[in-house]
A and B are shown apart, each in its own frame.
Chain A
Amino acid sequence: MLTRDRLRLIRRRLVQVAPVIVLATFIVFGLQQLVPGDIAVTLAGDNATDARIAEIRALYGLDRPFLAQYGHWLWGVLHGDLGKSLLSGEVVLDSIFRRFPVSLLIVGCALALSLAIGIPLGILAATRPGSRVDAFVTSIASLGVALPNFWLAMLLVATFALNWTIFPATGAKPLSAGLGPALLHAALPSIALAAGAIAEVARQLRSSLVEVLSSQYVRTLHAKGLSPAAILWRHGLKNVSVNLLTVIGLVFNRLLGATVVIEAVFAIPGIGSMVVHAAIHKDFPVIQGVVLALVLIVIALNLLIDVLYTVFDPRIGQK
């Protein structure tokens, strides 16, 4: 599995990780300086004087120059210390380890749903291009992309949690609480999140599969007398799998971003609600920690996809 080419690919990617992390966190840190707002005002409480606010600023080191603050943070990261929330004093690493699994469960379920539904729909449409089935799938897919997911989320809650109390309306349970309760809580948010992704997967798969199925070599295969099913499964899908991997990567990143809204609707204690709260109050250790974790996840996923590319298409990576 891990051939020399793949190891080289992985090594090359790992070298890129450090600069990407520094760049991403530095940009986010810089953006926070540009946005108006001052966490010291929030920390100083309801009726703070200017003197008190200045005192707080000194107490938390917020009066130091921009680069010194960033450097201090980065130095901590190199020593495995992401710091503590300025607002509440919670250890950032603890929050990340508690909250990321919650979000990843929902995103994972949504991704699984979008593949389980999107792929069959895409195949159905691609094998009958121009038919009524195709038109139906295409219009459903357009609808799925156009629907705002928070609106869908509220419809789902009203119907399946408040009207028929099948699913809980709010909250999340970790996998450690048992697969059943965890999935029950994740069901509605995942469906709301998946709607757009299902459409995305179906549309992308359809268009690339249509292209492959109308290519010269497929015509040759037909002429050879191979059954349409064999052509589709053995030749067609194999050739679109690289495209599909790209779509999965993009969809995953999008889902990770979309949880911000979904978590607010379902009161899910994941990264979305964490980063929103932190961003509003400019709680920079928390924002930086989340950005760092997100960058790592995205890099890891992209690396995995790159390695998989070489599995599905051996030409990639052989330079």
Chain B
Amino acid sequence: MPTFRRRDFLASAAGLALAGPALAQKKGGVLKVSANANPSSLDPATGGSGSDHSYLYPIFDTLIDFEPATLKALPGLAESWSNPDPTTLVLNIRAGVTFHDGTPLDAAAVKFNLDRARSDPRSNIKGDLATVDSVEASGPQQVTLKLKQPDSALLLILSDRAGMMSSPKAVQELGKDYDRKPVGAGPMKFVSWNDNEKVTYARHDRYWKPGQPLLDGLEMNVIPEINTALRAVVAGQNDFVYFLSPQQKPLVERAKNLTAVSGPTLYCVIVFLNFAKPPLDNLKVRQALNYATDRESFAKATMAGLSEVATTVLPKAHWAYDPALADFYRYDPDKAKALLAEAGHKDGLELHLIGYTDQRQQQRQEVLQEMWRKAGVKLRFSTFNIPEGSAAFFSKAEGNGLVSQWTGRPDPSLTFTLLYGKGSYFNAGRQEATPEIAKSLAESRASADIEARKKAFSVLQKQVLEQALSVPLLFQFELDAHNNRVKGFQPNLLGKPRFNGVWLDG
């Protein structure tokens, strides 16, 4: 019944220390979760789906950890790090940590993992480590990464798939079968995986964090239909469900045994534009689209208020967010029309957009169609399932735009490089936006100092906005629900639930 926002959560977390015995953590119990999709693989290097992370976090600790509310880098398996020069990153690996199979997690194991991620033919994360030139074990617990160019994004990349450490012994012995028999150094050991049914985990008794994990086990039950997934929690078969749609919020609030958890995420609903192809190669047309967008109404109509309006691709809570840019494109259909006229489209223009077939996406397309029609932009949609639609727009350069979402990356440099960098997959035209943007992209990765990076990102975001390279619409809120026995869950800005620290009460 009570609804938790991140702010409330932080307040209650602060209160936790004072409350003492009343909220004493309890050991034991198996947390049962309604999960939305079968994992693509449980090997972090060979998987490819953004929904895998919730399955991977329990098994794999990452070299770098992140602060859930802001995504700032924190020590993980690497207890400290340093940049002796801009193209060198030294990681000091925590001593005494072992993988679930007893293999020690030392510098050799880390080197093995990073080299595998960079070179294995089945690795889907080669691109994440593209700036790494070499990896050396410079001590028994120290790894030195030599970079081709300065890259401060690397740190947070190591909090993602690339930083998830697998037991070298298991990888070598199992080969391809490692996809289904992962061995990491995280709080939970993998037990079993039945496709499209469930993945089960058991406590790793020799986990390095004292007192953790509190749970005896974890069960991720795959239920793709979100209404069924919620029903399983309402009826008590499962304890936790995530990725609910905003329309389900009233249902959660009506159920007395449930708590709703919501908070902003990096998950940005956005119209990608192919800015290399007419008519969107014209800056004025792109600006017109941004002025023609009534973001507030769009959010109200499609998300039932559970969202944050987006002008740029970083939400308010993010460390690199710049409040000065919040109102860059205020809704102004007349200005949009004027800009279109200046660009030679006095009588309006027709755009061909790609979209996806599911119900929520169709609704977004309809709202957009109606909104832009007022500014004289007529939309024609071709719809596909998600991988097909993305391939049509990004690899085959079909259509002028794609109504989709950007699921975010741990480091904002990655986000901007992938979206607007020359030759990047997510830049459908593959063209350089402007030389200034290319320069700012490089600068955002150059410094390790967070204040300097913040400034670089302000400049970069402003340039991207001026060029109107895409039409960000809103940030989707994470909406989860759990029964009142579940304690200690903390949502994160990535929007991919992590069950570390969760315990069951009663």
Do the two chains bind? yes
- Residues of A at under 8 Å CB distance from B? 36-38, 41-50, 52-53, 55, 59, 85, 87-90, 95, 98, 157, 161-162, 165, 168-171, 264-267, 269, 273-274, 277, 280
B234 within 8 A of A: yes
Contact A265 B195 (CB under 8 A): no
Complex formed: what's the CA distance from A274 to B222 in Å?
Answer: 12
Contact partners of A274 in chain B: CB under 8 A: 195-196
Complex formed: what's the CA distance from A85 to B40 in Å?
Answer: 11
Given A89-B176, A90-B195: A169 in contact with B237 (beta carbons within 8 A):
yes
Contact B425 A48 (CB under 8 A): yes
Complex formed: what's the CA distance from A193 to B384 in Å?
Answer: 31
Select which of A42, A50, A95, A165 is within 8 A of B387 by beta carbon. A42
Q: CB within 8 Å of A: which of B401-451?
A: 407, 418, 425-426
Q: How far is the CB of A152 from chain B (nearest CB, A)?
A: 15
Closest 10 CB pairs of A and B: A45-B48, A169-B235, A269-B197, A170-B232, A45-B124, A267-B223, A41-B387, A90-B195, A169-B231, A42-B387
Select which of B122, B196, B385, B426 is within 8 A of A37 by beta carbon. B385
Q: CB within 8 Å of A: which of B227-243?
A: 228-229, 231-232, 234-238
Smallest CB gap from B122: residue in A:
A59
- Residues of B at under 8 Å CB distance from A? 34, 38-41, 47-50, 121-122, 124, 127, 176-177, 179-180, 193-198, 221-225, 228-229, 231-232, 234-238, 385, 387-388, 390-391, 395, 407, 418, 425-426
Select which of A46, A98, A170 is within 8 A of B231 by beta carbon. A170
Contact A265 B194 (CB under 8 A): no
Q: How far is the CB of A226 from chain B (nearest CB, A)?
A: 54
Contact B196 A277 (CB under 8 A): yes
Given known contacts A46-B407, A90-B195, what 16 new A-B pairs fall within 8 Å (CB)?
A: A41-B391, A43-B40, A45-B48, A46-B48, A47-B127, A47-B418, A48-B124, A53-B395, A87-B40, A88-B39, A168-B235, A170-B223, A170-B238, A269-B222, A273-B196, A274-B196
Select which of B124, B127, B237, B387 is within 8 A of A170 by beta carbon. B237
Complex formed: what's the CA distance from A162 to B251 in Å?
Answer: 12
Contact partners of A36 in chain B: CB under 8 A: 388
The contact sample of 28 A-B pairs, CB cut-off 8 A, is A43-B40, A45-B47, A46-B49, A46-B50, A47-B425, A49-B395, A50-B395, A52-B124, A88-B193, A88-B195, A89-B180, A90-B193, A98-B194, A157-B231, A157-B235, A165-B236, A169-B232, A169-B235, A169-B237, A171-B221, A264-B228, A266-B228, A267-B232, A269-B196, A273-B196, A274-B195, A277-B196, A280-B385
Complex formed: what's the CA distance from A37 to B196 in Å?
Answer: 21
Q: How far is the CB of A51 from chain B (nearest CB, A)?
A: 10
Q: How far is the CB of A217 from chain B (nearest CB, A)?
A: 54
Q: How far is the CB of A127 from chain B (nearest CB, A)?
A: 42
Q: How far is the CB of A208 from chain B (nearest CB, A)?
A: 39
Complex formed: what's the CA distance from A47 to B197 in Å?
Answer: 27
Complex formed: what's the CA distance from A43 to B407 in Å?
Answer: 18
Given A170-B237, A267-B228: A89 in contact with B387 (beta carbons within 8 A):
no
For A42, A55, A95, A98, the residue with the greatest tally of chain B CB atoms inside 10 Å of its CB is A42
Contact A44 B48 (CB under 8 A): yes
Contact partners of A45 in chain B: CB under 8 A: 40, 47-49, 124
Contact partners of A95 in chain B: CB under 8 A: 194-195
Contact A161 B388 (CB under 8 A): no
Given A89-B177, A169-B235: A59 in contact with B41 (beta carbons within 8 A):
no
Smallest CB gap from B32: residue in A:
A171
Select which of A41, A53, A267 is within 8 A of B229 by beta carbon. A267
Contact A169 B197 (CB under 8 A): no
Complex formed: what's the CA distance from A277 to B225 in Å?
Answer: 12
For B197, B225, B236, the residue with the greatest tally of chain A CB atoms inside 10 Å of its CB is B197
Contact A267 B221 (CB under 8 A): yes
Contact partners of B176 in chain A: CB under 8 A: 89
Contact partners of B124 in chain A: CB under 8 A: 44-45, 48, 52
Complex formed: what's the CA distance from A43 to B195 in Å?
Answer: 16
Contact partners of B50 in chain A: CB under 8 A: 46
Complex formed: what's the CA distance from A50 to B392 in Å?
Answer: 11
Contact A170 B235 (CB under 8 A): yes
Contact partners of A168 in chain B: CB under 8 A: 235, 237
Q: How far is the CB of A34 from chain B (nearest CB, A)?
A: 15
Q: How far is the CB of B77 from chain A (nearest CB, A)?
A: 24
Contact A88 B40 (CB under 8 A): yes
Complex formed: what's the CA distance from A165 to B255 in Å?
Answer: 13
Contact B179 A88 (CB under 8 A): yes
Q: How far is the CB of A47 from chain B (nearest CB, A)?
A: 5
Contact partners of A46 in chain B: CB under 8 A: 48-50, 407
Given A47-B425, A88-B38, A267-B221: A161 in contact with B197 (beta carbons within 8 A):
no
Contact A38 B49 (CB under 8 A): no
Q: How far is the CB of B174 from chain A (nearest CB, A)?
A: 11
Smallest CB gap from A42: residue in B:
B387
Q: How far is the CB of B244 from chain A (nearest CB, A)?
A: 15
Complex formed: what's the CA distance from A90 to B395 in Å?
Answer: 30
Contact B228 A59 (CB under 8 A): no
Contact partners of B235 in chain A: CB under 8 A: 157, 161-162, 165, 168-170
Smallest CB gap from A170: residue in B:
B232
Contact A89 B231 (CB under 8 A): no
For B49, B224, B231, B385, the residue with the greatest tally of chain A CB atoms inside 10 Å of its CB is B231
Contact partners of A90 in chain B: CB under 8 A: 180, 193-195
Q: How far is the CB of A157 from chain B (nearest CB, A)?
A: 6
Contact partners of B225 in chain A: CB under 8 A: 264-265, 267
Q: How far is the CB of A304 from chain B (nearest CB, A)?
A: 30
Select which of A47, A50, A55, A162 is within 8 A of B426 by beta carbon. A47
Q: How far is the CB of A27 from chain B (nearest CB, A)?
A: 23
Complex formed: what's the CA distance from A49 to B47 in Å?
Answer: 15
Contact partners of B122 in chain A: CB under 8 A: 59
Contact partners of B222 in chain A: CB under 8 A: 269
Contact A38 B48 (CB under 8 A): no
Contact partners of B390 in chain A: CB under 8 A: 41
Select which of B34, B38, B234, B238 is within 8 A of A87 by beta carbon. B38
Smallest CB gap from B180: residue in A:
A89
Complex formed: what's the CA distance from A162 to B40 in Å?
Answer: 32
Complex formed: what's the CA distance from A161 to B232 in Å?
Answer: 10
Contact B234 A169 (CB under 8 A): yes
Q: How far is the CB of A288 from chain B (nearest CB, A)?
A: 15
For B193, B223, B390, the residue with the greatest tally of chain A CB atoms inside 10 Å of its CB is B223
For A89, A165, A266, the residue with the greatest tally of chain B CB atoms inside 10 Å of its CB is A89
Contact partners of B196 in chain A: CB under 8 A: 269, 273-274, 277
Contact A171 B232 (CB under 8 A): yes
Contact partners of A48 in chain B: CB under 8 A: 48, 124, 425
Smallest CB gap from A36: residue in B:
B388
Complex formed: what's the CA distance from A38 to B385 in Å?
Answer: 11
Complex formed: what's the CA distance from A260 to B50 in Å?
Answer: 26
Complex formed: what's the CA distance from A44 to B390 in Å?
Answer: 12
Contact A162 B234 (CB under 8 A): yes
Complex formed: what's the CA distance from A88 to B46 in Å?
Answer: 10
Q: How far is the CB of B250 from chain A (nearest CB, A)?
A: 15
Select which of B194, B197, B224, B425 is within 8 A of A49 by beta carbon. B425
